[in-house]
Amino acid sequence: MWKQWHFKIALIVLLVHLCNPVNTYGQYSQKTDSAKYVRFLPDYVKLQFAGGIGLLSIGVGYSFFKEKLEVSYFYGYVPKAVSIDDLHSVSLQVTAKFFRFKANKNIEIVPLNVGWFIHHTFGNEYWITLPSHYPAEYYWWSPGRNAGIFLGGEIKTKLLSNKTPASGTAFCARVGSRGLYLTSKFGNSAIPFRDIVEFGFGVALYR
């Protein structure tokens, strides 16, 4: 039951961000007098393809410490076209961005980002705490929530900055894996590395 709650809250948080009356993008929000509220607006919205968190996932991100650290929250969907059952999930990600340099006045490269994510799939069979009918510690992992790591890169451009309130558009790529895959690979040379890799691409619109 609480899982439905979780799902609803996730959707509400996303909808509030995406359909914000103050608008997610900078120029608009400067016109409002609630400057304090603006601080809570996400720094970017992002659409991602694959990466283990949905065929498509959409999320919001916040930057901290001069854009060196980012926290983002995604809702991901896998349609029946690519899986027997469609899947809904959310993921929380923390990304450290150590390096950045300007290629020219319009393009900034942000390579070698290191990220950690925790991914929660919705549904009764994807439990988080071991259901009570099992003896204690019967299974050590949880199918409903598992964590992973990734390496990512980003190219920030000024695309769309002229015509929209956005400050720019970024193109991102990432390669990662998750604990359950790494554990499966451990000690098994017979499992190819490419099988445990989660590639993903994304487009982010910055405030």
Partner 1 sequence: MITKNKLLIITLALTALSACDGMFDYSPYAIDFSEENMNVNEKNVSKLILKEPDDTLTIAFTGDTHRFYDQTEEFVEKVNQNPAVDFVIHVGDMADFGLPKQYTWGNSFLLKLTVPYFVVVGNHDLVGNGLTAYKEMFGALNFSFIYDNLKFIFMNTNGLEFKFNGEVPDVQWLDAQLSPNNDFSKAIVIFHIPPMDRDFDSSLEETFSKTLAHHNNVLFTVHGHLHGHEIYKPYEDSITYVNVYGVENMKFNLIKIANNQFDVETVAF
Which parts of this chain interact with partner 1 (CB under 8 A)?
A: 49-55, 76, 78, 82-85, 87, 89, 121, 123, 125-126, 131, 133-135, 138-139, 141, 143, 146, 159, 171, 173, 178, 180-181, 183-184, 186-191, 194-195, 197-201
Angle at CA of residue 96, ends 90 and 101, nearest 5°? 125
Give whichever of 9 and 175 is closer to partner 1, judged by the CB atom: 175
Q: Kindly state the smallest distance separating residue 52's Cβ from partner 1, in Å.
A: 4
Q: Kindly state the smallest distance separating residue 87's Cβ from partner 1, in Å.
A: 5
Q: Kindly state the smallest distance separating residue 102's Cβ from partner 1, in Å.
A: 18
Contact by Cβ (8 Å): 53, 76? yes
Rounded CA separation 148/172 (Å): 18
Give whichever of 4 and 162 is closer to partner 1, judged by the CB atom: 162
Q: Kindly state the smallest distance separating residue 202's Cβ from partner 1, in Å.
A: 11
Give whichever of 67 and 86 is closer to partner 1, judged by the CB atom: 86
